[in-house]
Structure 1
Amino acid sequence: MTLATEKSALPRNAKAALAHALRTATYEVLPFKSAEEKVLAHVPTDVALTVTTTEAKGLGPTIALAASLTKQGYQAAPHIAARLVRDQAHLVDIVEQLSDSGIDRLFCIGGDAAEPTGDFPDALSLLRGLRAAGHSFSWVGIGGYPEGHGLIGDELIEQALKDKEPYATQAITQLCFDADTTIRWARSVRSRGITLPIRVGIPGAISRQKLIRVSASLGLGQSARFLKKQQNMFWRFFLPGGYSPNKLIEKLTPAFVQGDNNLQGFHVFTFNDLDSTEAWRQAWLARLP
């Protein structure tokens, strides 16, 4: 199915919703050495960014890249992993670093460390610490898990989302290749009285080899592991020459105009393939109202 065919199959109001979701899409980047150069070369400054963090690299490279991109005119939100923050004094220092760099956005996660470094075992405790520190961030993101969490039971992860809602301005879902799973989860979230806007995490237009390699190494959910194991199922997700998110987009779009969920935008996992991802986004926008 071509891009034009997918687009023409959508109702007019869905096309308008899709155009808005793509215009306001956020990009996630990895704090590698070439990341800033790629962002400056390929990403317009009106595309908001998040910068990931890992236990191996620590918070330093994440905050440094977010600060540098902010100085270049981007809205960049560093991922602050709770398990890498030692105590309240360390958190206050992080808040001051971000404020001094002009950063007023951040994404709060528990993090991938097996054990917490200090006083913050999860994102909720970090959010409470941020409130106690009197932060002034205008945008605070938290994670959503359409496929559940590998280490936390469904009931606990659902309760955690509800508990974190008062501290956040937006939820961003983990990478999920199944649109129906994401939509069902979003409806369930809404039915529980949670009204936080949700951005759907989708892969960018990247090569199949890189998608599998990086997804597997970062542990981005059951879908990625499934793809890695089920080589014969690649045809469901990949077009000749590489992965394309078009079919996933097509299936997700109708939900944006339905009132039974909080889906309001896209968060694109770029894996730093920013040239192909931005070209893909602009191709869609050129064909939409």
Structure 2
Amino acid sequence: MALLKFKKDDGPVAGSLGADVEALLENYSIEVMPRTAEKVEDFRALLPEGTRVYIAHIEGTPIEDMVATAKRLNADGFPVMPHFPARIIKDTVTLNDWIARYQGEANVDQALLLAGGVDTPHGDFDSSMQLMETGAFDRAGFKRLHVAGHPEGNKDIDRNGGMANVDAALRWKQAFSERTDAQMALATQFAFEAKPIIAWADAIKAAGIDLPIHIGIAGPAKLQTMIKFAIACGVGPSLRVLQRRAKDVTKLLVPFQPTDVISELAAHKAANPDFNVTHVHFFPLGGIKTNAHWAIENGGASARPANV
């Protein structure tokens, strides 16, 4: 797919989904892995200037590959937010080493802290809260820390205590945000339906959790790919959106796109300016280029690539 051409002072020639969606997609972020980043010749041809790029740290990925990817993205002018998955970090020595490498080689000053999708911890850490309790990120002067949010529950921490564990974790993170100098936000797992997202965001706000929400949205992908990732990641009620689509044989070969969920969230945000979903975070399940092109075609000026 070729990149859209832009007029000097206008939005994309193809038009966008409208002003509400353009506003919601402003300063969106996107997630990559070292192996997927290698397939992208030039991120500046795909992403808006200043786009925050998360680097997912999957178990078994060498820290050298993570840092090299961060260094490349930083050199291209993109702020980098690497994952720090607690359960694959052996100890505080390893944690401090990672922080030093990211800072020294790639000018990183922000991180996503999460438990990580590993059942058995590799060492001393089991949760993002334990990482924060070390004080390592504050001592290193990290300016921004994001932590995980789960609009439809989290199979890693709610299997015993139900939603009570999830709620307790959110309250702890809220309290930590009030005693750290770093800016904090919730970066969430993806969901496919707006209503559960809105209900969750409103509920945690009513409970006193006022951290900004960067809502996870799955980028365009084949339906089979989307269902596979959704099940693996524990996506809950909104999985029914995919299940309904799977029953329609005419749609099985048509990529699923986030048009409906983003449009509904954007309309809700426009009607409710205090809605605490502030940004969109894309999981490019169908590929970084595919996701970026969807944003370019639908997001107006908010998605205009850096080198245009």
TM, length-normalised to structure 2: 0.78
Unaligned segments of structure 1, at least 5 residues: 9-14
The residue type paired with residue 88 of structure 1 is T
Structure 2 residue aligned with 1:163:
172
* Per-residue Cα deviation, 1:3-26 (whole angstroms, up to 9, x for no partner): x99946xxxxxx34x323212110
**Structure 1 or 2: more helix by fraction:** 1
Instruction: Give the letter aligned to residue 256 of structure 1.
Output: K
Does residue 255 (structure 1) correspond to residue 245 (structure 2)? The answer is no
Identity within the alignment, %: 23
Residue 23 of structure 1: which of 6, 23, 26 is its match?
A: 26
Is contact 1:36–1:69 with CA below 8 Å preserved after alignment? no
Change (3 A) 1:5 1:45: closer
Q: 1:231 to 1:183 in 2, by over 3 A?
A: closer
Of 29, 46, 50, 1:46 maps to 50
- Work out whether residues 86 and 127 of structure 2, in 8 Å CA contact, stay in contact via their aligned partners in 1: yes
Paired with 2:235 and 2:197, the residues of 1 have a C-alpha distance of: 12
What residue number does 1:11 align with?
A: none
How far, CA to CA, are the matches of 1:206 and 1:35 in structure 2? 19
* Aligned mates of 2:237, 2:64 — CA distance in 1: 30
The residue type equivalent to 1:159 in the other structure is A
- Tell me, in whole angstroms, the C-alpha distance in 2 between the residues paired with 1:44 and 1:98: 23
CA contact (8 A) 1:207 1:243 kept: yes
* 2:210 aligned with 1:195: yes
User: Do the aligned residues in 2 keep the contact of 1:48 with 1:76 (CA within 8 Å)?
Assistant: yes
Aligned partners of 1:260 and 1:107: how far apart in 2? 24
* Cα distance, 1:233 vs structure 2: 4.3
- CA distance in structure 2 between the partners assigned to 1:63 and 1:234 by the alignment: 43
Root mean square deviation, CA, Å: 2.9
How far did 1:287 drift? 8.4
Change over 3 Å in CA distance of 1:287–1:77 after alignment to 2: closer
SS in 2 for 1:243: coil
Contact 1:83 1:121 (C-alpha < 8 Å) held by counterparts: yes
Cα distance change, pair 149–279 in 1 and its aligned pair in 2 (3 A): same
Aligned to 2:233: 219
CA distance, structure 1, for counterparts of residue 62 and residue 275 of structure 2:
35
CA distance in 1, matches of 2:74, 2:199: 36
Q: Are positions 1:268 and 2:271 aligned together?
A: no
CA deviation profile, 1:103-138 (whole Å, cap 9, x unmatched): 111100101121212221101111122447612111
Check 1:34–1:92 CA distance in 2 against 1; reply closer, same or farther (3 A cut): closer
Deviation track 1:169-215 (CA, whole Å, cap 9, x = no partner) reads: 11111011121111110001111111111011111123334333444
- Give me the whole-angstrom Cα distance separating, in 2, the residues matched to 1:224 and 1:181: 7
The answer to which structure, 1 or 2, has the higher relative contact order (CA under 8 A, 6+ apart) is: 2
Q: What residue number does 1:12 align with?
A: none
Q: Does 1:107 align with 2:112?
A: yes
* Amino acid in structure 2 at the alignment position of 1:32: R
- AA in 1 matched with 2:263: E
Residue of structure 1 in register with 2:259 after alignment: 246
- Separation in structure 1 between the aligned mates of residue 277 and residue 252 of structure 2, nearest angstrom: 26
Aligned-partner Cα distance in 2 for 1:72–1:132: 24
Secondary structure of the corresponding residue to residue 195 of structure 1: coil
Q: Give the residue type in structure 2 aligned to 1:192.
A: A
Partner of 1:174, secondary structure, is: strand
In 2: Cα distance, 1:113 partner to 1:273 partner: 24
Equivalenced residue count is 274
How far apart are 1:68 and its partner, in Å? 2.4
Question: How has the CA–CA distance of structure 1 residues 287 and 48 changed in structure 2, closer, same or farther, with 3 Å as cutoff?
Answer: closer
- Where in structure 2 are there 5+ consecutive unaligned residues? 1-13, 178-182, 303-308
**CA offset at residue 276 of structure 1?**
2.1
What is the TM-score normalised by the length of structure 1?
A: 0.83
Partner of 1:181: 196
1:270, distance to aligned residue in structure 2 (A): 0.9
For 1:250 and 1:149, locate their aligned partners in 2 and report how far apart those are by CA, in whole Å.
Answer: 25
Query: Cα distance 1:102–1:213, how it changes in 2: closer, same or farther (>3 A)?
Result: same
Give yes or no for contact 2:192–2:241 (8 Å, CA) kept in 1: no
Given residue 149 of structure 2, which amino acid in structure 1 is its aligned partner? G
Report how far residue 59 of structure 1 moved.
Answer: 4.5
SS at the partner of 1:193? Answer: coil
- Other structure's SS at 1:24 match: coil
